[in-house]
Structure 1
Amino acid sequence: AAMRSMLRLLGHGPPPPLLLLLLLLLPLSTPALQPLPHSTVSLPSPSSAPQPSSFQSHCYPAVMALRGGRGDSIKAKDLRDKTIDELSQLEQELRSELMSLRVAQQVGGQPGRVNKIKTVRKNIARVLTVMVSQARKAEHKLNVGKKHKAKDIRMNRHWPKAWRTRLTKKEKSIKSEKAKRCLKLKIWGGGVRPMRRVVLTEPLPPPILDVVDYSIERTFEKYPRRRKGAKGRHTATGHIPEHAKLAMDKKKLKWKEENKRLKALRQKQDQMAEE
């Protein structure tokens, strides 16, 4: 640096060898060879970093009003009565506060800012959750009283089904707890469509008897006798489709014809035995 300042004083031409030797032998403490004064850049100390308490009181009035003047977290129950515009303003203030905290953490280098940043991020998440719930509530109010209701934006499949179900006058007049539980199962899709079962796949050979016991016919039914009907009520025979009823009637006719044939055959055998 001393050589550069000396060369700047002498000019831009190449110095002679004698001058270079003289510069090397002179001590560096000579005032003529000292570097020129220049401006110094001082980094801010950790104590001079912006503190959150210095700007919370006047920059974010909505945030401090919800917190009660303290740096606590915001409760979701305090956000339910606010409008969408107020929630949007609160979200912007929280995001600005989060940015200030991150800048203070990077400049000041204080690890204690991490907990504060986590609290502010949770507050932002709570505000967004309340905003989404209010939007869904407003959408639901628009569909009240309509015959064909729009599907809910939730991913849960039970919500659209429950919201599009209109209760009848009889269902609205239900008072017993058991009937209410059955109605709830019906609305939420529990036990409305029981699985179809087949007891036997092949028919049994006809018995050689005068009278066939019709109680065995239940083993051939594809639908159980005791099951919940279409309305969610327990019925004696259950909800049997029409094609299944026709098939059961045809089966009964076959059993009757087989009984007649067996009875005539038994009578003929008895007559031949008597002769």
Structure 2
Amino acid sequence: MVKTRVKAADLREKSKAELLQTLANLKKDLLNLKVQHVGGAGSSSGLKIKEMRKNVARVLTVISQTERKKALEEAKGKRIPYDLRFKKTRAIRRKLSRSDRNVKTVRQQKRLTHLARRQYAVKA
């Protein structure tokens, strides 16, 4: 009934249908454990419940990661949707690119060419 730990590496090899079947089985086992815990099965059932919840979370994580990866591959070469972009930080996302930082206005260009920085030689 209760497995020790589901490995994420093993889950990645399975198809989506197999993952959904595994998820259904884990949820059923979790429900049974909760019923036993309420019935007063013992102190160790709390640890088993915790482990089962983590197993369910692992399966759901692998499912979402594989779906996300497929969606990113489909969007390759196109504009990537906001929910699939990498989060990073707000400051990094808003930071200008190197080429945008180096762009100068016409006024700045004129000022740089006509009013270049003067260099003075000091007489010894």
**TM-score normalized with structure 2 length:** 0.73
Code of the aligned partner of 2:81 = K
Match in the other structure for 1:249: 113
Which of 1 and 2 has greater Rg?
1
Q: Please give the alpha-carbon distance, in whole angstroms, between the structure 2 residues aligned to 1:132 and 1:93.
A: 18
Which residue, out of 74, 92, 97, partners 1:142?
74
The CA deviation at 1:82 is 1.1
Q: Give secondary structure in 1 for the equivalent of 2:69.
A: helix
Match in the other structure for 2:87: 157
Residue 123, structure 1, aligned to residue 55, structure 2: yes
Work out whether residues 72 and 84 of structure 2, in 8 Å CA contact, stay in contact via their aligned partners in 1: no
Written as runs of structure 1 = structure 2, the 5 A alignment for 1:15-94 is: 56=1, 71-94=3-26
The CA deviation at 1:133 is 0.3
Count of aligned positions? 112
Q: Please give the alpha-carbon distance, in whole angstroms, between the structure 2 residues aligned to 1:247 and 1:157.
A: 39
Q: Deviations over 1:137-181 (max 9, x none)?
A: 11012123x3x32225257435xxxxxxxxxxxxxxxxxxxxxxx
| Structure 1, unpaired ranges of 5+ | 1-55, 57-69, 159-187, 194-229, 232-237, 256-275
Q: Please give the alpha-carbon distance, in whole angstroms, between the structure 2 residues aligned to 1:154 and 1:240.
A: 29
Code of the aligned partner of 2:69 = K
Code of the aligned partner of 2:107 = H
Match in the other structure for 2:121: none
Cα RMSD of the aligned pairs, angstroms, is: 3.0
The CA deviation at 1:189 is 8.7
Q: Please give the alpha-carbon distance, in whole angstroms, between the structure 2 residues aligned to 1:74 and 1:86.
A: 14
Distance of aligned partners of 1:138 and 1:154 in 2 relative to their CA distance in 1, 3 Å threshold: closer
| Structure 2, unpaired ranges of 5+ | 119-124
The CA deviation at 1:192 is 4.2
Match in the other structure for 1:101: 33
Q: Please give the alpha-carbon distance, in whole angstroms, between the structure 1 residues aligned to 2:54 and 2:72.
A: 27
